[in-house]
Amino acid sequence: MTRPFIIPVFLPHYGCPHRCIFCNQTAITSRKQNFFLSETIFSWINEFLRHKGKQRHPVQIAFYGGNFLGLKTDDIKRLLTEATMFVTAGKVDSIRFSTRPDTINRRRLDIIKPFPVTTIEIGVQSMDDQVLAAAGRGHTATDTEKAVALLKERAYEIGLQMMVGLPGDNEAKSLATGRSLAELSPGFVRIYPTIVLANSPLAELYQNGAYRPWSLERCVTVVKNLYLLFKEKKIAVIRMGLQSSEDLDKGSTILAGPYHPAFGHLVHSEIFLDAATAAIRSEKSDREAIALKVHPQSISKMRGLNNQNVEILKKKFNIKSLQIVPDATLSPNRLVALA
């Protein structure tokens, strides 16, 4: 799967019929610009194009942060027309956007048909109707199934976004959602932990003691299992965790929850820790000295943040010397233990 160069145009809450319990898109996107103004969109896209590496392709303009197909018809057409100008000029290859499943219908898809939209991401969040109701989503799992079927009829690339740790969620429900999404055979998925953002409806529940966010450790383990589930089905996971930003990292935006600027790295590190644990257990030696061979790109994942994986393994198996050895002949996901 070739990763496109994305030019994100954020439309926080635009087109949303109401506010979901976890949402504060302005905080997540860290955007103060009014992208509903044509001059702002043109300026923003041109700025991205100036900094685009020459070898990066394809290029997509992406409308994120709102419910694109929930916008007024005239607004949908205007935004797509403006984005299409860059496609016509040969500067951009195509357009993508994110939207709710219950706004995907034949009438709405007919509106976007004349435009070079190739990818549509659906904010699924969960396939458990009780979790969806508790999150104030206003749609059901069936809406997602119908939406995916309609998009497949028209040969769009489909991305599905899910969240873990929503009110009423647990490990079993999150994994059930993962299995349901895998059965829909999307092109890719994104997995986000539920974070308590300031000025979100969830913040009030948290402050009143009615919602308890998941720990970082619990969330990483659940997302790890989801990642492995999708990997087995050959479905790309293109993001795990919120995109790091100055607003999120400075501490005032997030009240609680499993946010980490390197969340995806934590997930991959736990996968390597599991693999190393299994490999060392299979060795018949006294394990006082062990070398773990991994691809050079995977060394940091094997070591873990602050060398945490190395220390865990040394303590767990009473290893005096544990070396991480680069081996470019191995695949990036493979590990070999040598006693």
Q: Which pLDDT belongs to residue 104?
A: 98
In CATH, what number is assigned to the domain containing residue 248? 3.20.20.70
Which tens digit of pLDDT belongs to each residue from 72-95? 999 999 999 999 999 999 999 999
Query: Domain check: are 255 and 278 in the same one?
Result: no
DSSP secondary structure letters along 186-221:
-SEEEEEE--EETTSHHHHHHHTTS--PPPHHHHHH
- Residue 216, pLDDT > 60, answer yes
Q: What average pLDDT score do residues 211-239 get?
A: 98
Q: Say if residue 183 is in the same domain as residue 308.
A: no
Query: How confident is the model at residue 3, as a pLDDT?
Result: 82
How does the average pLDDT of the chain come out, rounded? 91
pLDDT tens-digit series, residues 228-283: 999 999 999 999 999 887 677 776 789 999 999 999 999 999 999 999 999 998 87
Give the number of other CB atoms < 10 A from CB of residue 18.
10
pLDDT tens per residue, range 10-56:
888 776 766 677 876 555 555 555 556 788 889 999 999 988 767 66
User: Which domain CATH number covers 320?
Assistant: 3.40.1260.20
CA atoms within 13 A on the CB side of 294: 21
What is d(CA 11, CA 14) in angstroms, rounded to the nearest whole number?
Answer: 6
pLDDT band at residue 123, thresholds of 50, 70 and 90? Answer: very high
Is residue 168 within 8 Å of 54, Cβ to Cβ? no
Counting every residue, how long is the chain?
339
Quick one: pLDDT at residue 17?
67
Asked whether residue 287 falls in the same domain as residue 207, the answer is: no
> Same structural domain for residues 304 and 186?
no
Total domains, the chain: 2
* H or E, element range at 80: helix 73-88
Which of 218, 242, 260 is at the close of a domain? 260
- Which residue type does 72 have? K
Tokens (6 digits) for 48: 């991205």
Which position has the token pair 């458990």? 128
pLDDT at 26: 56
| 140/255 same-domain check | yes
Cα radius of gyration (the chain):
22
Its pTM stands at 0.92
CA 205 to CA 122: how far, in whole Å?
26
Q: 77 is in which domain, residue-wise?
A: 5-260
